[in-house]
Each structure stands twice: as C-alpha cells, then as structure tokens.
A and B are shown apart, each in its own frame.
Chain A
C-alpha cells in the first residue's frame, strides 16, 4: 500500500508554546485512521495541518510525495462538526457547487446540458448518502444527521485523495450516530477512501478505524507545561478480525 499523506518530524509552536512536537507518521492508501487524545492534545491542530489551514513551524508534510501547500485544496475533503454546508444553497446546489468550482470557474454557474449532467451526478451522490428525497431542501430544514450526510456528499463528489473528519458525529444523537457509523463505513469500503478522523469518542475510534492514533504529551514539566508538545503516544493497527475492544492503556484518556 502506498502512503498518501506523510508527516516528517513536524512541530507546531505558537511563540514559546509547543503544541505538537516531532510528529512523524504516514497514512496509507485505504486506511481509516482514528485520532484520539485528551482535549488540548493537538488533535485539531494535526487536522488543521493536514487541511493546510496551518503550516508546521518545523518539519514537512507530503501528499502523494509532493510537499503540501499550506492552503486547503480539492485533493483533501473535509467534514467539520458544524457549519460544513452552505445555508443559502439547497442540498443539491451544495453538492453541485463542487462541480461548478471545477467546470465553471469564471461564471460560477453552469448552463444547459453541462448543468443537467452536473445535477444528475450530484443527485446520484445525494441518493447514495440517503438524501435522495431532500434535493431541494435548504440545510436549516435538515436534521443534524442529514446535514452531516450532505457535508459528506459534498466532499465525496470531488473524489478527494483523503477525507478529513473533524468530530463529524460529535453533535449527533446516539441513534443517529450509529446510522452515520454505518454510512461512513459503507462509503469508505465502496469508494476505497482514505480517511483521517478526529474524535472524542474512543469507542467510535476503535469501532470505525483500521488504525488508532493517540495524541498526548510524552513528558510534562509541571513548572512550564506549555514547553512540551503532544505527539503520537500510541499507534494501534487494527485488522478486521482482531477484537476491537479499547485497550487498557487508553481507557479514560479520551473521556475528556
């Protein structure tokens, strides 16, 4: 399996506060990587690095071997916990938008046959995530779970190299969350996606992931806690057959 996204000795520092220190890892094609860790352990910073929202202060990040530009781009899809969809577009327009960015970069809109084709593609994608009956509905009329389905469809229409999920199911009811687990697992298998998911829920991490990364500080200085950053303290590869119970050393860690 080839490595899609790789981090090499990456540090993130704000002034003299160190958030991440010496993070080195590679994400293989087709992997579903869950990232857990206590609050403030740099999980979100790590995801921001992968997104390009932030640049590392030291070290390098590569996507398919090429250095990653510190700017979000269409090769990396994202679903945030909230605000991922555009409130002023219907569900269908939300998905068509990704196609318009690519095919109508000047006018911003497509017409005639091209438009019809894009709408069909988008409608098929929405059907796929279970929103086939809500094409013309505005996001505010959708439930939280439906909005996340829409955000996923939006990202998938661009066929990203890697899908980044930032606590995507954190704000959902438990029942809805289970449905979403099913959906994302199905999509991941079907489309052969590579996924990087940050979550607070350690059970979710072990249930969905093929690999679980735990971020935390390796060392602590009680006088100057900000001088040590977090890094990957555990890296569990999981395969289908192995039992997916949470290991003892991680119990309680991600409860925060």
Chain B
C-alpha cells in the first residue's frame, strides 16, 4: 500500500473525483429544497429547479414590457461594459506605470511610495468620494473598479519587471539598445504574460467592486438586479444570476489564459510529464 501522499489519481478517476463534490453539493441542495417544499409549497428560500427554470425563462428570454429589452441581456451588457472599461483602463495604466517603476530607478524613487500608499486604501471606502466627485453615473463605477485593482497590478508588474536579471539589461546595452529599446523589446514582452496573469487574478476583485457599485446606485446591471429582487426574496432569480456571473468570470479567465499561451509560447514551457 502506498502512502497517502503518493496516491495520484489519473485519467477517469481524476475526473470523477473532481465531479463528486460538485454532485454532492447539488444533491444536498435538491434534498433540502424538496424537504422545504414538502412542508410549504410556496417556499421562496430554496426554489426548485423548475421554479428557477421559469424565472430564467422570464429574465433571459422575454422582453421586459417597460424597457423593451431582455433583462438578462441588458444587465449583462451594462455590467460587462463597466467591467471592460474599468479593467481596460487599469491594464493600460498598469502597463505604463509598471514598466516605468520597474525599469527606471528615477521613476521608482518618484512614484513607488505613492503607489504603495494608495494600494493600502480600501477601495470601497473611497466609493462615497467617487459618487460625490463623479455623480451616480457610469464614471463612478468604472473608476471604482480602476481604483480597486490598479495599485495591486502596478506593484505586481513593477516587481516583475524589476526582477529581470541585471545581466539582461547590461547585455541589451552592449548590443546598442537605448532605454526605449530596452523598454520596448526587453521589458515589455517579458511583462505582458505577467500582466495577463495579474489581470486574471484581478478579475475577482473587479467583479466585487462592480457588483458593490451596482448594488448601491444603478438602474441596470447584474449586481443591480440581484440586489433589486432580493427585496422580494426572489432566490429563483438570484441563484441563476450568480451562476451566470460565475460562468462569465470563468470564461474570461480561461480566455485570458488561452490568449497568454497563444501569444507568448516562450512563457509557457510544454510540460514533459
């Protein structure tokens, strides 16, 4: 008999092992939901799959008579636009600041302390300021996402760029590279895979800020919707929305990972094992 730590699941057994806990969670939910409905057929806390399917039908396939739009589509569009704008802005700023701080000692001395100071401010705490300054419109929500994820991404990228071996920078200079050439051809390409990696990790907090902002002041959006229907204990809407948000997050994460593998093969060595 092998030691426990040497038992490695392979192939089919690995798949089943991964699937079992998920199946168990679903089973527990169905049992609990069934039990509640046996006692009270109009229970709203643990809706049956049929009730959820009905809610999905209304939210995802029928136009809201008031807005002439399918709620789920409108919410998804609005949320993704905000998330995209916030994350996009964060990525551009991270690239510029991260490269600058990581590569140029003069910028590091100038901006390093500021970025370090900003990154310890809890972003939700500045949300009221953002609402006061930018109003309750889109800008405040986008800025919240930006403020929330950028400092951490900048510090991560700057650290990564600063860790490029000194030998490489000296070598580039002996090949006649200017500061611009070193930034463009040595630092930037090595920073990009790391940027994507840090973007993937930042998506989770970005969603948190998005949903928080939407919950507080909005009239459309995934976060707005789940906080709106919460008033009616509409778990049959909230649960599918949560699943949908998770699905979007997973697709983005996998998409970014695939992008990094396709664009930067040198950063992803093929596994030999």
Contact = CB atoms under 8 A, between A and B. Distances in A.
- Asked whether A and B interact, the reply is yes
Contacts of A87: 190, 266
Nearest to A155: B174
Contact of A74 (B167, B174, B180, B265): B174
Nearest to A163: B174
A76 B174 contact: yes
Contacts of A76: 174
Contact of B185 (A73, A82, A100): A100
Interface in B258-273: 264-267, 269
B35 interface: no
Interface in A88-132: 88-89, 97-98, 100-102, 105-106, 108
B168 interface: yes
A25 to B, nearest CB: 22
B247 to A, nearest CB: 33
Interface centre among B168, B170, B190 (most CB of A within 10 A): B170
Contacts of A88: 189-190, 264, 266-267
A59 interface: no
B186 A83 contact: no
Contacts of B111: none
B66 interface: no
A158 B175 contact: yes
Nearest to B167: A83
Describe B's contact surface by its main secondary structure: helix
Contacts of B177: 97, 101
A154 B170 CA distance: 13
A80 interface: yes
A154 to B, nearest CB: 7
Given A73-B174, A88-B264, A80 B185 contact: no
A84 B181 contact: no
Interface extent on B, as a size class?
20 to 34
A72 B185 contact: no
B218 interface: no
A58 interface: no
A78 to B, nearest CB: 5
Contact of B174 (A72, A83, A100): A72
A71 interface: yes
B171 A101 contact: no
Contacts of B264: 88
Interface string A39-60: 0000000000001010000000
Contact of B168 (A73, A83, A105, A155): A83
Given A86-B186, A108-B185, A78 B267 contact: no
Given A83-B165, A97-B185, A108-B181, A72 B266 contact: no
Contacts of B167: 80, 82-84
B184 A108 contact: yes
Contacts of B180: 105-106, 108
A209 interface: no
Contacts of A80: 167, 170-171
B176 interface: yes
B62 interface: no
Contacts of A101: 172, 175-178, 181
B173 interface: yes
B174 A51 contact: yes
A253 B184 CA distance: 44
A38 interface: no
A17 interface: no
A145 interface: no
Contacts of A106: 180
Nearest to B168: A83
Nearest to A76: B174
A86 B165 CA distance: 10
A71 B174 CA distance: 9
A140 interface: yes
10 contacts: A83-B168, A84-B167, A86-B171, A105-B180, A106-B180, A108-B185, A140-B269, A154-B171, A158-B174, A158-B176
Given A87-B266, A88-B266, 9 more contacts: A72-B170, A73-B174, A78-B170, A80-B167, A83-B167, A101-B181, A138-B265, A140-B266, A158-B176
3 nearest interchain CB pairs? A74-B176, A72-B173, A83-B165
